[in-house]
Amino acid sequence: MNQASIHKYLATESKKTIANDVEALFEQRLATNLTLIKDLFFSLYPEKDHKKSFVKLLRTLPILFEQRPSPLKLLDIQRINEGNWYQSEQLVGMQLYVDHFNKDLKGLEKKLGYFEKLGVNFIHLMPITPRPQGENDGGYAVNSYYEVDPRFGSTEDLLDLTQKMRDKNMYLMLDFVANHTSNEYVWAEKAMAGDPKYQNYYHIYPDRTLPDEFEKTLPEIFPMTSPGNFTFNTEMKKWVMTVFNQYQWDLNYSNPEVFIEMLGNLIKLANLGVDVVRLDALAFMWKKLGTVSQNLPEAHALISLFRMCLQIIAPGVIFLAEAIVAPKEIIKYFGSGTMKGNECEIAYNATLMALLWDAIATKKAVLLYKNIHSLPEKPKETTWINYIRCHDDIGLGFEDHHIHEIGWNAKSHRKFLLDYYCQKIDWSPAKGHMFMYNPKTGDGRITGSAASLLGLEKALEQENQSKIEQAIAKIIMMHGIILSYGGVPLIYAGDEIGALNDYSYLEDHDKKEDSRWVNRPHQDWDTIAQIDAQKNHHSQIFYSLQHLIRLRKQHPAFADRNNIILYEAHNPHYLIYERPMGKNNGVLVVCNFDEVPQAIYENTLGSYGSKSNPTDLISGEKITFPNGTLRLMPYQMLWLGKTK
């Protein structure tokens, strides 16, 4: 039982009126979490030095609670009573840039009906807060944590949007860039002006002595565009830690004042009507000499401390871990040991994402099986965000030993994947681009829209109808997997109509060096306006995904209860997994990753064989097994249900 479960129990047991519950339940949550908060705080900030800071935190919590709007306090209680609402099969998400989607927040509000038509009810807006002019890492260089950049509208526009979304039972996710601010943020400006208080809010050093020591173990995140991890600031004549980009200053969380102030920023963001807070770059939040300063135990303690405080003030708001790290490290962001289930409620399933792209390139699911089998089970109170791509690049974060165990060479295999997707192999249908290739290590990442990576762009150029159909089948199958796997599916805006690479970024001085913009297209509303009238690849993809989303919501087996069972296919081209529920309400997902038809024996499907009279939920057709086998066409996917 995690802390959220305890809060639900206490809320259920409360006999007070609703009017009194709000204040009483705050006191209950504070009392319930206080010991954990104390232990976490003093594990990071030794009591002998930071007792006053702890007292300040305790005085801050009720102040922040009072600032939370009354309607959101009532929603918090509703969410507590609902329990793990974020594990529901009813949730389907979409990620987008507001200005690329429909100009601004008012424009987005006008398109809520489009989300409803597709079946989307969970929206992740890329950063809408103020940022520097010019380069700003797509808004992840933060000038404010809770204001709205005028290019997107106003705070009032955001509040109107979140109210209308709540009226429609839709959920909003926004980013909290916890690791760093921009060099224009008010703290950075005060630091540059010479204020020692704010210089201690960052990792700032008078000479290269400590930076050089850090550099011995710190990796380079963007070796081509931002080599090294420190930047010399001419105003201070000092060195600033800038792990990501020169204009992004890393916060110094070893200073408890930074934590307390950032908690205030977090609550102000949540008070705008945010349901899920995406903790950006959280793996980097704690720095320690002699380490890579990623995934440190102190970072996990810090995240848990944020969550325990947020749970007291705004328990209806949850955390998503933006931790694109090794599979064994991702699981830790749900919490481990005494804090199991008490860190982030949701995490990106980056492992599944990368392995799906591996399976497409190799036409085999063997590496996917190897990795998934090795992952420990996540806490029951948590869930995944499942996606085939996002605004970012596609990394190849598999563990080498898994590649070796199936008889492949890890270095050669990664090179093959980069070549396959980045137009280095003539026969590959993919039209992707390389991102941040490091010639020293051979490591690189992949950019491109889902449709272009899956062959649609090249097939359209060649006017090859069979290849077009094959690319469409891949797009539908990939999305069908994230819609049926355990967790919240997240579709990138444009992928639902097969958007291709957008090369316009090459004409923008501030974007042309960042190939990730190729997979951040503007929403094509002209095409969408014709989606009902024209039968083409756009409409085929849209209505196929709409159909799958509708089916997902009709089958409670797709809710995440840690109910996923991998089946051994005995055919390397197949991926098979079950979402069990009761005797006859489960669903078996069967996928063929090969470009030619493939067959498997009926007994591979367990209880979903002929005796259960299975039906493909997608097509509505009964499944037959000629000669005791099941045959799937290239990139075909079945969702099998038993006939009751």
Per-residue pLDDT tens for 452-481?
999 999 999 999 999 999 999 999 999 999
Q: List Cα–Cα distances, 251 to 200, 301, 461, 545, in angstroms.
A: 9, 16, 47, 41
Closest CA to 488 of 2, 57, 92: 92
Angle, helices 297-313 vs 47-67, to 10°: value is 40
Residue 472 contacts residue 455 (beta carbons within 8 Å): no
Q: At 282, is the pLDDT very low, low, confident or very high (cuts 50, 70, 90)?
A: very high
Q: List Cα–Cα distances, 75 to 83, 173, 343, in angstroms.
A: 12, 16, 22
Query: Looking at the predicted structure, is the pLDDT value of residue 529 above 60?
Result: yes
Residue 280 contacts residue 179 (beta carbons within 8 Å): yes
Residue 60 contacts by C-beta under 8 Å, 6 or more apart in sequence? Answer: 260, 263, 264
Query: Looking at the predicted structure, is the pLDDT value of residue 172 above 50?
Result: yes
CB-CB neighbours of 622 under 10 Å? 11
What is d(CA 122, CA 490) in angstroms, rounded to the nearest whole number? 8
Q: What is the pLDDT of residue 61?
A: 98
Q: Give the CA dihedral 63, 69, 75, 79, nearest 10 degrees.
A: -30
Q: At 10, is the pLDDT very low, low, confident or very high (cuts 50, 70, 90)?
A: low
Q: What is the pLDDT of residue 644?
A: 63
Q: What is the pLDDT of residue 14?
A: 60
Query: Looking at the predicted structure, is the pLDDT value of residue 436 above 90?
Result: no
Mean pLDDT of 378-394: 93
Residue 353 contacts residue 312 (beta carbons within 8 Å): no
Mean pLDDT of 218-233: 89
Residue 604 phi, psi dihedral angles, 5° rounding: -65, -25
The one catalytic residue in 104, 135, 250, 280 is 280
Mean pLDDT of 122-144: 94
Query: Looking at the predicted structure, is the pLDDT value of residue 637 above 50?
Result: yes
Q: What is the pLDDT of residues 249-267, one digit of tens each?
A: 999 999 999 999 999 999 9
Query: Looking at the predicted structure, is the pLDDT value of residue 199 above 80?
Result: yes
pTM of the model: 0.94
Q: What is the pLDDT of residue 295?
A: 94
What is d(CA 106, CA 160) in angstroms, rounded to the nearest whole number? 9
What is d(CA 41, CA 61) in angstroms, rounded to the nearest whole number? 14
Q: List Cα–Cα distances, 260 to 164, 227, 291, 420, 461, in angstroms.
A: 32, 31, 25, 47, 55
Q: What is the pLDDT of residues 25-50, one digit of tens each?
A: 999 999 999 999 999 999 999 999 99
Q: At 345, is the pLDDT very low, low, confident or very high (cuts 50, 70, 90)?
A: very high
Q: Give the number of C-alpha atoms closer than 13 A to the C-alpha of residue 7, restricted to the C-beta side.
A: 34
Q: What is the pLDDT of residue 583?
A: 86
The one catalytic residue in 109, 322, 343, 594 is 322
Strand partners, 226: 222
Mean pLDDT of 344-358: 94
Q: What is the pLDDT of residue 19?
A: 46
Q: Share the mean pLDDT of the chain.
A: 94
Query: What are the structure tokens assigned to 414, written together?
Result: 């990664």
Q: Is 250 a catalytic residue?
A: no
SS3 343: coil
Angle, helices 256-270 vs 297-313, to 10°: value is 40
DSSP code string of 278-315: EEETGGGS---TTS--SS-HHHHHHHHHHHHHHHHH-T
Q: What is the pLDDT of residues 499-518, one digit of tens each?
A: 999 999 999 888 888 899 99
Q: At 444, is the pLDDT very low, low, confident or very high (cuts 50, 70, 90)?
A: confident
Q: What is the pLDDT of residues 573-628, one digit of tens each?
A: 999 999 999 888 999 999 999 999 999 999 999 999 999 999 999 999 999 999 99
Q: At 438, is the pLDDT very low, low, confident or very high (cuts 50, 70, 90)?
A: confident
Q: Is 377 a catalytic residue?
A: no
